[in-house]
Amino acid sequence: MKALLSLAVVLIAACGVFLSSGLPAIQRMRQAHNDLLKREQQVTRQSADVAPVSEDTLAQLEAERAGLEDVVGRRRATLTGGLADPDAPKLEEELARRKLRALGPEDKLTVAVRAQAASSPQAEAALAAIVRALSYADDVEVSSLVLKNDGRLQPVPGGAGVQQVEAQVVLSAPLADALVCLEALAPRRDPVGPALEVQSCSLRRIEPDHWGAGAESLSGPPTRLSVSLAALFTATDGGAP
């Protein structure tokens, strides 16, 4: 009889422990299992969306990134280096040396360009650099050369210590010469003068009905190139820091 009573007491105590501790533990285990299933489903969905990358592929991507960072660093150094020659050629010297069509001594466009150059040394340096770049091609006729914002220096977005004079150029030339001009206006730096940077451009063919006089002397069918660009200056170039 005493043994039965003892067993009954032990059974009752075990039931109490189970009710007070076992049931909450089972509930926590079920919740943890459900959480684990959810995470497994998320991993499965992500694995379907993103293909696994091997270590070799990752190493290749890291090498490409390092190469691009090196290119960006070298380009920035090129574009933000100071003037190599404090006595850089002036606009009048460039106009006289290059002799571009529509930019002759008495042409209306030349008068307008000279007026813009008089606004500031940076405006003149920008125009001189553009005229020099356009002269790399042969059959080029400049129809418009205008500085934006009255030729004033503007901050370069994301370029600390760098300012720019923005310009718009429109010219007519055979396709090969137009591409030469575009390449000459692309990010580069001559030994003297500010760096040039193309911001946007459009190139389209000119219909034969609009070729005008003198087109027969060109080396190919004329095209019209419109370029928005900037001449970049640092504090050493005369721009504000």
Whether 211 and 174 have beta carbons less than 8 Å apart is answered as no
* Distance in angstroms (rounded) separating the CA atoms of residues 133 and 185: 6
Mean pLDDT of 126-136: 89
The pLDDT value given to residue 24: 72
Question: What is the per-residue pLDDT across 38-77, written as a single tens digit (0 to 9) for each?
Answer: 888 888 777 777 777 788 888 888 888 888 777 666 666 6
Mean pLDDT comparison of 26-30, 157-161, 199-203, 236-240, highest-scoring range: 199-203
Q: Which of 14-18, 154-158, 221-225 has the highest mean pLDDT?
A: 221-225
Using pLDDT thresholds of 50, 70 and 90, give the confidence band for residue 21.
low
CATH code for the domain defined by 91-237: 3.30.70.60
The more confidently predicted of residues 158 and 169 is 169
- Predicted confidence at residue 86, as pLDDT, reads 43
- Name the average pLDDT for the chain: 76
Lowest mean pLDDT among 99-103, 183-187, 225-229: 99-103
Q: Percentage of the chain with pLDDT > 70?
A: 68
Q: Give the amino acid at 180.
A: V
pLDDT bracket for residue 165 (50, 70, 90): very high
Find the DSSP H helices in 18-174: 23-49, 55-80, 91-98, 108-117, 121-134
Helix (H, G, I), strand (E, B) or coil at 8: helix
Domain range list for the chain: 91-237
* Residue 82 confidence (pLDDT) above 70: no
Q: Please name which of 224, 225, 156 lies closest in space to residue 194, comparing C-alpha atoms.
A: 156
- By the 8 A CB rule, do 221 and 205 touch? yes
Q: For position 219, what pLDDT does the model report?
A: 53
State which H helix or E strand residue 184 sits in.
helix 175-185
Residue pLDDT, tens place only, 30-40: 888 888 888 88
Type of residue at 210: H
The pLDDT tens digits for 170-222 are 998 888 888 988 988 876 555 567 888 899 999 988 765 555 555 555 556 78
Query: Residue 127 and residue 37: Cα distance in Å, rounded?
Result: 67
Cα(84)–Cα(75) distance, integer angstroms: 16
Which of the pair, 238 or 146, is modelled with greater confidence? Answer: 146
